[in-house]
Amino acid sequence: MQIDIRGVETELNDEVKAYAREKVSKFSKYEKRIVGVDVALEENHNKNEDSAAKVKALIKIPGKDIEAIGEGKTMFAAIDAMEDHAKRQLSGHKEKFNKREQSSRSKRLIRRLLGK
């Protein structure tokens, strides 16, 4: 899985990059077909109390890309929020994919049994 982490109008230190990479690498537990993940981290320079940092992740999966967003008081909190959002989306996507795959296999089996 290709992981690209970048700062949007902000400098990132190695600690933040390592933390983001660690969290993003866990996505493969929820979806095996992930090709890559692009993560953009940015600080809100207005320093609003609730959303001083924002993280956007674009998870590339064949057929559909998933976007997860997280906001928090610190960059680490925003990364955690993005991870939670991504987990929910990946779990839902995996369930839909498995249902479609199972339905497709069932239809092929029925056609084979009926000789069509």
**Where in the chain are the domains?**
2-114
Q: What mean pLDDT do residues 38-63 have?
A: 85
Q: What mean pLDDT do residues 48-65 have?
A: 85
Can you name the CATH fold of 2-114?
Double Stranded RNA Binding Domain (3.30.160)
Q: What mean pLDDT do residues 66-81 have?
A: 93
Residues 108 and 116: their CA atoms lie apart, in Å, by 10
Residues 6+ positions from 70 with CB-CB distance below 8 Å: 54, 55, 78, 79, 80, 81, 82, 83, 84, 85
Q: Does position 107 have pLDDT exceeding 80, yes or no?
A: no
> For the whole model, what pTM was predicted?
0.76
Q: Does position 24 have pLDDT exceeding 90, yes or no?
A: yes
